[in-house]
A and B are shown apart, each in its own frame.
Chain A
Amino acid sequence: MSSASNAASLSSREVIRRRHEALAYRFCGPAVLLLGLTVIAPVLFVLVASLTDYRLGRTTFQWIGLGNYVTMFSSPYVWQALRNSAVYTAIVVPLSVFLALFVAVLIHGRTTSRRFYEIVYFLPVASTLTAMSIVWSYVLNGRIGPLADLMASMGLPRLDFFSDDSLALSGLAIIGIWRLVGYNVVLFLAGLTTIPAEVQDAASLDGMDNFFDRLRYVTWPLLAPTTVLVIVLNCIQAFQVFDTVAVLTNGGPRGATNMLLYEINTQSFGSLKIGYGSALTVLYLILIGGFSILQVALSDRKGES
């Protein structure tokens, strides 16, 4: 009786909440616990550890404030890694976005062969990059690779991508583009299907028969939200590149392909400088987190309209 009269005095929301609460905590418990242990706590740890000089194996550590950050920003390796990541991104992202847009528009116009092209262009995304990197290391090899053979037969010098520090980054970029184009094609195709067929008809009625007119007046502007999203996603992926570096170059030759994530990996797990590695991780988090927040903001805006 008393619980009934109690319930009557509560707001309906409150009643529902009481009924659900214990259950909800049980439902969320495992996930929350695991998220806390494997994501949130480690990130907090990294933030704190970046202010110390802790190294694995030592028993003591000291608070050194922003010392690790000072070291980091005065390290030529870090700057080199950042520059390499930026250059890699600047090569890979525009090319894969542009090529993918072009390919997607062409595929979109096909009817019977559409599925075939979708499969073929997406194949690199479905493949295991580590294994394919080994294949690429031979394909782009200057002595025995087919690309070098082709260039030699045309009277050009045989390029050996991964032993030449002026070419190594481009070699990785080729693989990066190869992989990203298919991913982007799929996203652009999804974007293209949202352009109403009647708008396409209206465009042909207005005389936009020309491929470039159609692209300029209709397709490109209507794909703008998709394009922005694709660019952000590609930037994240380009800053996260690791597999190809680890398989093909180990950051070399002479640091020419040492990129951010590889530098973090070397410093953290190679030399086990926990404090310094944490500071690098924080830098990485800020960069990627920035892109991710941008992405969430953009996809939210897209969802509303």
Chain B
Amino acid sequence: MAMSNRPIYMDNQATTPVDPRVLEAMLPYFGERFVNAASRNHQFGWDAEEAVDNARKQVAALINAHPKEIVFTSGATESDNLALKGVAEMYGQKGDHIITCVTEHKAIIDSAKHLEKQGVRVTFLPVERNGLIDLDDLERAITDKTILISIMTANNEVGVVQDIREIGRIARERGVLFHTDAVQAVGKIPFDVQAMNVDIASLSAHKMYGPKGVGALYVRRRNPRVLLTPIIDGGGHERGMRSGTLNVPGIVGFGRAAELSMNELEDESRRLGALRDRLLARLREKLDEIYINGDMERRIPGNLNISFAYVEGESLLMGIDDVAVSSGSACTSASLEPSYVLKALGVGEDLAHTSIRFGLGRFNTEDEVDYVADKVTGTVQRLRELSPLYEMVKEGIDLSTVNWTAD
């Protein structure tokens, strides 16, 4: 097995590799099919438009939407920006209050903060220890000035899945638009904008084995009809909501990726869930004091976020350098702050520094899972031998009683 010389990629919540079948679909559009999909006066343009329309159908089908409700963007960050800023500006007369949550992706949090500076009031709902919002908190936060609720479907760090159906029901009942950043969920778990009463949803191609640089915003056309003020002005593409020449190869790839995810969702989620459980079981076999971050039941199948107490995350990553995973440790982030998501879950900073996110995906195998589990186990054991904290705990010292010197 060539495992020792080929690194193992297990960071599929960060991005996913492009499926070879997706690449195959895209290639002609870099070559002979190069044309602008908005060129409506010749055969070349019609072909490109047809390819885009086909992709639009494929993406729409995955979330049970109408193709006309899909607005292609440059990615989910743009989609999130368009959703929040577009609603705030379009519905500014109706109200000035938005509700979101503390564990959202930065694209939502920072868009909301941008709006706050412009006078929009934003409620950031807290989450419970398991990562889920309290629906009573949500109900209480809604006022007659609330124009948007934006709650992510699945979290990118801990993988927990919010009760989108219930949130959608509440939003519909109270006459508030509901946006969800569904990037980590779509293609991984069933997601149906009709059944869930979702009005706006952000999607990304590269989290579902498609290319980077392409995303979409689902914008409901009926009951209610949602209108957004564009954040990019220009030629009026995408029903006027997103100007700019369409990324035809990217969109074709996105469509194919959506189609594959839809066809394979059931088998894949079962397989990834089993791999995830196998990984956890194998880690637990030999390691004590490992803690799962986020709800284990309401979770996308490919995610496992674990704190390995007394072992700092970056040093653990260094010991498993042929495995690509990510850490919530401050040392791995530019900000030198540990993960704000884990903090919001009430995970202490000491444990946040020891967290690792395993992101299993379509191309991970059972052999890889076993290899990673064993490698992590060995490294954690070695680093615990090196850890003064582990030693102190084994001596019976309660770390919370120690008078630490903050640096």
A binds B: no
Residues of A at the B interface (CB closer than 8 Å) are none
Residues of B at the A interface (CB closer than 8 Å) are none
